[in-house]
A = this chain, B = another copy of it.
Amino acid sequence: MKEIEKASAEIKNLKSELYAEDFLLTWDKSVEELKVILTIAQGLKLLHHANVSCRLFDSGLAVSQFRDNSTRTRFSFASACNLLGLAVQDLDEGKSQIAHGETVRETANMISFLTEVIGIRDDLFLGAGHAYMLEEGRALDDGFKEGVLPRRPVIVNLQCDVDHPTQSMADLLHLEQYFGGLEKLRGKKIAMSWACSPSYGKPLSVPQAIIGLMTRFGMNVVLAHPEGYGLIPEVVDLAGRQAKACGGSFAVTGSMDDAFKGADVVYPKSWAPYRVMERRTALLRENNSSGLRDLEKECLENNARFKDWECTEARMKHTRDGTALYMHCLPADISGVFCAQGEVQDGVFERYRIETYKEAGYKPYIIAAMILAAKFKDPASVLERLAAQKVQRVRF
């Protein structure tokens, strides 16, 4: 297969040290490493569409640890693991938070004796999710070093409080495909904008993931939100530094209109203010349900002040040629469908609906690519051998 040869050649030209490493934050990885992931993901998609089996494991477990609800990511992870031959086993911690200290260290080992990968979603507690993954990673390092584990399972971040790398990498692959190459993204304007929603407490990880990733590919990234809806300051700073280093730009604005003006891509999405998430984390920790109710009420009232932050047809008209690509991690709060007034007008969403589905469709391949890159020293030759071997995924 010609395309696989091409993908393999590209990967070989890129310097990467993804082997045996967890994938927690995109900014922990070099741009070349991110390109390797994108290329593997495309290769796996090609193979799958050509009915070539991508099974690399004859047996092995993949543990999914969802500390928050999920349908989409759960299915993406299940699909990715199944594609490679791993069986998913859920770690259901019940409603209680796993105690820290001994237990994380112990549990990490107990679930890993024959495990290849652990996918974790932990986005409810600000300051906790990423820290938890680091802690679990150290426990696995320890177990491997001490001879408890025959192989070190790798962790894939399926959304934490800081980053959502499987989402943003799928988004990036969508942009690459849509515009015809990563190089085409240079100089393009992307508006990552807050949008109003009648819900509250949505994580910050998607907008943070977008500004933390797109600033590395020469895009002009604009973050827009009402006053008081800021993201984690360190991530905002990082986005600025990265834009400078990578030849793009990064700006923060308090106007959705400014953000949309001349944009090539818009990503309007609701999130809770950083300060609110901090208070919410404290209340969740102390199990303070009346406090949580009060906070929700306060926040929804506050959100209501910004109902105008909606992705409307009118605003879309002011994007480049009126045809900016609309993106969303789904599900979107569509005005007039799920709520009176939400993140996006029905007509806008409907026009880009199929594009958002395609955007979501890259996620299983991105996750599979992350696993493949972390478990195989030479992913380029893995792709080549899969293509050469040509085992039919669906037989006969």
Say whether, besides A59-B53, A87-B82, A113 and B394 are in contact (CB < 8 Å).
Answer: no
A291 on the B face (CB < 8 A): no
CA distance A55 to B87 in the complex (A): 13
User: When the two chains form the complex, which single residue of B58, B79, B106 contacts A392, counting CB atoms closer than 8 Å?
Assistant: B58
Residue A322 at the B interface, CB < 8 A? Answer: no
Question: Of all chain B residues, which has the CB nearest A103?
Answer: B331
Q: How many angstroms from the CA of A54 to the CA of B114 in the assembled complex?
A: 12
Assess the A71–B57 pair: CB atoms within 8 A.
no
A354-387 contacts to B (CB < 8 Å): 354, 357-358, 360-361, 363-364, 375-376, 381-382, 385
- A88 pairs with B88, CB closer than 8 A: no
Q: Provide the residues of chain B in CB contact with A101, threshold 8 Å.
A: 337
Interface residue from B114, B338, B357 paired with A364 (Cβ < 8 Å):
B114
Chain B: CB-nearest residue to A52: B58
Asked if A351 is at the interface (CB within 8 A of a chain B CB), the reply is no
Contact in complex: B361, A148 (CB < 8 Å): yes
Q: Taking the complex as formed, is A60 at the interface, i.e. its CB lies under 8 A from any CB of chain B?
A: yes
Q: Are the CB atoms of A376 and B396 closer together than 8 Å?
A: yes
**Chain B residues, CB < 8 A from A110:** 71-72, 75, 330, 357, 360
Whether A393 contacts B89 by the Cβ 8 Å rule is no
**Contact across chains for A61 and B85 when beta carbons are under 8 A apart:** no
Q: How far is the CA of A281 from the CA of B83 in the complex (A)?
A: 40
A180 within 8 Å of B (CB atoms): no
* Given the contacts A58-B55, A61-B82, A89-B88, A337 and B102 also touching, CB distance less than 8 Å: yes
Asked whether any CB of chain B lies closer than 8 Å to the CB of A340, the reply is: no
How big is the A interface, by class? 35 or more
Our pick among B55, B74, B147 for the contact of A358 (Cβ within 8 Å) is: B147
Query: A133 to nearest B CB, angstroms?
Result: 19
Contacting pair B111 A75 (CB below 8 A): yes
Contact check: which of B61, B330, B358, B393 meets A79 at CB < 8 Å? B61
Q: Residue A395 at the B interface, CB < 8 A?
A: yes
A146: CB under 8 A from chain B? yes
- The answer, yes or no, to whether A391 is at the interface (CB within 8 Å) is yes
Does A181 make an interface contact (CB < 8 A)?
no
Picked from B53, B91, B143, B393, the residue with its CB within 8 Å of the CB of A357 is B143
Q: Which of A93-123 contact B (CB under 8 A)?
A: 99, 101-103, 106-107, 109-111, 113-115
- Chain B: minimal CB distance from A344 (Å): 12
- List residues of A (23-77) whose CB comes within 8 Å of B's CBs: 48-49, 53-61, 63, 71-72, 74-76
Closest 3 CB pairs of A and B: A53-B58, A79-B114, A148-B357
Q: Can you pick out 17 interface pairs between chain A and chain B where the beta carbons lie within 8 Å of each other?
A: A53-B59, A55-B58, A58-B395, A59-B82, A60-B393, A61-B75, A61-B82, A71-B91, A75-B113, A82-B87, A101-B337, A102-B331, A102-B337, A106-B331, A109-B360, A143-B357, A375-B394
